[in-house]
Structure 1
Amino acid sequence: MATILQIETATQVCSAAIAHDGKTIALKELMANNIHAGSLTLFIKEAMDSTGLQFEDLDAVAVSMGPGSYTGLRIGVSTAKGLCFALDKPLIAIPTLQMMAQGFMLQNPDYDGLICAMIDARRMEVFTSVYDNNLRTVTPVVAKIIDDQSFAEDLNDNVITFIGNGAAKCVGVLKQENAKFSELNFNSASYMSKLAHDAYACSRFEDVAYFEPFYLKDFVLTTPKKK
């Protein structure tokens, strides 16, 4: 059995959870713009305090590794690495899109279609990956520009539910009958619990010194048009 601190900061959601033996026992989160830097450590402390645990009682720290917001991922990963260094605990990295698909399946255990997890990457682009209902990867993670032909082949043969803050770009664009949409939020550290527990059981740990978020695309600095 393992007690794991879990951190999710890949989108607007700032989320910290404590899980024991693969089950979430504490959660503190909020969806708002630009709160991660000021709120994450507070949320971690509040989640820890609600369990009565001390940081030394943790067996590992798990973090949502991306893709997602550059700033959010940097904050989440640097906080996780700092805790691992200070506490001498292993670091677990959870793919963000897989975590979202896991959250959808926890909410819809009888679902038998495909799950397309999407994170907004601005304009009509998304970071996305497709999973089956056993969380096996059907389509690897890509940056994709959405148009009316996106996912057309898969939608011919499968029901696909599009989830995440990037899925809104598909509403009104993907008009196939097999395209379904969920407006619920699945970017939560609570949906990391089983994935983190399985990784811990297999000793699937990251090198704390060298681990970096999975940004998928290089950061591009743009110059404002108005000064």
Structure 2
Amino acid sequence: MDTIIVTGASSGFGEAIARRFLAEGYNVIAIARREEKLMDLAHNFPGKVHALALDITDKHAVEECLSNIPEYFENITALVNNAGLSLGFGPAQDNNINDWETMVNTNIVALLHITKKVLKMFKEKNQGHIINIGSVAAYYPYMGSNVYGATKSFVHNFTLNLKTDLEGSNIRASCIAPGLSKTEFAVVRFKGDVEKADSLYENKTYLTADNIAETVFWTFSLPANVNINVMEVMPTGQSFALGFTKKQDEK
């Protein structure tokens, strides 16, 4: 049975992506910190979810867990690097350096560790698909993006360079770059301030987790000779200012 690894699978994009693949009959190795959320997913899809409750930035824990995968889940055909976060929304000169380090460790370093591990598996069978979740923030700067946007620029460029290194192989590498999306992402960014997070979406159109899950599944489900390099996905009403400009009725 084909298995998909999804990081950050306890909520938002990750949970929706996991559910989309599960609905199509795939097995899922679901990785996230919140064990109770992963158990809910496993309960809804009995026998189809191998839940790994761990911190994706703990490379030793990732190495150990992925070196001891149950036989039923061993045939890994895709890795969806979804785990990531943004912390803070102010200018660089006012940001907390610890927040910057957390973003770099999660969005870049952790992604590299798990990709390296899974890539070795893919190389052995000359088959597989690495799908990285980036952001349009990698291309279109906005106030407060600074390090977050820079980490997503890394993800995009790493994906393209990975694709280059895989020339001649049957391994695919893709990056999906969502625009304004409503998940727990903004709540994390504002460190639990739900009201402040919700204000970002007032009078704006936005993407949902299911929208991105469908995009990821479509990218994966294309014929094996087709590789999506980078795909930008924005809500219809969003401009390239990323939706943070003044509302139309403001002076």
Normalized against structure 2, the TM-score is what? Answer: 0.37
Q: Which has the higher strand share?
A: 1
Q: Which has the higher helix share?
A: 2
Normalized against structure 1, the TM-score is what? Answer: 0.40
